[in-house]
Amino acid sequence: MKTNQITPCLWFDKQAEEAANFYVSVFKNSSIGAISRYGKAGFETHGMPEGTVMTVAFTLNGQSFTALNGGPLFKFSEAISFQVSCENQEAIDYYWGKLSEGGEEGPCGWLKDKFGLSWQIVPAILPELMSDPDRAQRVTQAFMQMKKLDIETLANA
């Protein structure tokens, strides 16, 4: 791990390894790194059987993550989401389909995956479309009507 690199740590109940494998299968240039397991020490605190996966280090397209099996104490919320910037509609369709499978589609390009983690699947051109105040109103009106974002509709707004 590089010093001063920011690595999101995702807290799962017991699905850390399953989630890391899923995310690595969705994103190109991704890999699983070190996997650590719970031992006997600390059982009275963590309650995890010896040998259970504790953490999984993984990389998605160059970004480091850690998945932690921390138990049911904490859940994901929309307060944290990951944005996937897509160059074309094919990429939006791909990520939307893969990440929403078994999860939940939301409004305006948002979805929750099967683990409850929130994602925003957005066109890379969106910041440019939103930079013109007059156009931004039309673009906002258009994407407020969508679940999965449609680049052509947004560009024509």
Two tokens, residue 29: 């240039």
Q: Tell me the residue type at 43.
A: F
| Domain limits, the chain | 9-69, 81-155
Give helix 89-100 / helix 16-26 axis angle, nearest 10°: 160
Question: What average pLDDT values come out for the chain (157 residues) when binned by 10 residues?
Answer: 82 97 97 96 88 97 96 94 98 98 98 98 96 94 97 96
Q: What gap in Å lies between CA 17 and CA 77, rounded to an integer?
A: 20
Q: What gap in Å lies between CA 45 and CA 35, rounded to an integer?
A: 20
Q: What gap in Å lies between CA 23 and CA 97, rounded to an integer?
A: 13
Quick one: fold of 9-69? 3.30.720
| Residue 44 pLDDT | 85
Q: Are 28 and 63 in contact (CB under 8 A)?
A: no
Assess if CATH 3.10.180.10 describes domain 81-155: yes
| Residue 56 pLDDT | 98
Q: Strand pairing partners for 46?
A: none
- pTM (global) more than 0.85: yes
